[in-house]
Amino acid sequence: MLLYILNMLVFGLGLYCLIAKRHIIKKIIGMVIIEYSVNLFLILVGYRINGIAPILSPGENPIVFSQVAVDPLPQALVLTSIVIGLGTLALMAAYSIKLYEKYRTFDMSEINRLKG
């Protein structure tokens, strides 16, 4: 339970960064931190005490293996989600570069003012 709560503290800090900061890259950083926290939470939920990695080695007994290995399903989902995170990070970086080209600033409130 302590691990879950600490993990959610990371999530809350990322959310704070996403909402309260004005610099666009800080907002991107907040998004990245939220992503880490969610990935970590899924893996934490799938952990089994004294478990082993879900990879069979030659000569291992499959029945014993299936009783001690950790949950492979969250790992598979998180594996894809990490790479998606990189893709969305690149998209966000492209957006911020475009904003900088247009307004010559990374300041979010400044951009709002210039637009209106």
By CB under 8 A, what part of segment 28-67 binds other proteins?
Answer: 28-30, 32-33, 36, 39-40, 43-49, 51-58, 62-63, 65-66
CA 97 to chain centre: 22
Query: CA 27, CA 39: separation in Å to the nearest integer?
Result: 19
Binding residues among 84-103 for other proteins as defined by CB under 8 A: 84-91, 93-98, 100-101
The residue among 80 and 116 lying less far from other proteins, judged by its C-beta, is 80
Is the Cβ–Cβ distance between 43 and 7 less than 8 Å?
Answer: no
Residue number with CB closer to other proteins (4 or 116): 4
Least distance to other proteins, CB of residue 116, Å: 19
CA atoms 6, 10, 13, 15: torsion sign? negative
